[in-house]
Amino acid sequence: MAWNEPTLYVLQGISYPHDMLYAIHFENNAPTLRQTLKLEEYTDHMAVDQKLIMLIGSGENARQPEISTVEGESLKLLAQKLLPEGGMGVAINGDKAFVVVGGEYVAADLLMYAVEDPAAPMQIQSTDIPISSIFRVAILMSGPYVVLANGQGGVEVFREGN
């Protein structure tokens, strides 16, 4: 789930490898289902920022890790790109998206994507990070800082642009 006031975005598995994304709008404390989008892949992670949703999933029977961009207001799929390895976390900060890729107990990378044009996200930076002992890496964005809670790697703090 992700909250982007006044909308709650919810992922629900409907049948492997498909998921459903729901946009539930809250107005005057009354929830209304606004939009739904059937996803053609199993989705592991989601990040929401204003009108953009980034999803990390696995297409073609979980063999191809992908990052997808979705327009949040109309739940329209804008783009899908292959990731070099499995996605373990995603966050959006304005016109940049951060994705942790790797696998359990192997070296990982923090990838930065430019998403000024959500229909064509472009990888602009890659940074090696310590081995991860988990498949989920929490990413916290605070101003120019990117903070990772990375299992065996502990907590790592990066300053955007360095």
Q: What does the pLDDT read at residue 153?
A: 64
* Whole-model pTM over 0.75: yes
Q: Are 120 and 69 in contact (CB under 8 A)?
A: no
pLDDT at 91: 93
What confidence tier does 8 reach under pLDDT thresholds 50, 70, 90? very high
Q: CATH homologous superfamily of domain 2-159?
A: YVTN repeat-like/Quinoprotein amine dehydrogenase (2.130.10.10)
Distance separating alpha carbons of residues 109 and 48, to the nearest angstrom: 21
Under a CB-based contact definition with an 8 Å cutoff, are residues 10 and 21 in contact?
A: yes
Q: How confident is the model at residue 152 (pLDDT cuts 50, 70, 90)?
A: low
Please state, for a pLDDT cut of 90, what percent of the chain lies above it. 38
Residue 108 tokens, joined: 């990982």
d(CA 160, CA 146): 7
Provide the residue ranges of all domains of the chain, joining segments of one domain with +. Answer: 2-159
For residue 126 the two structure tokens come to 């890659």
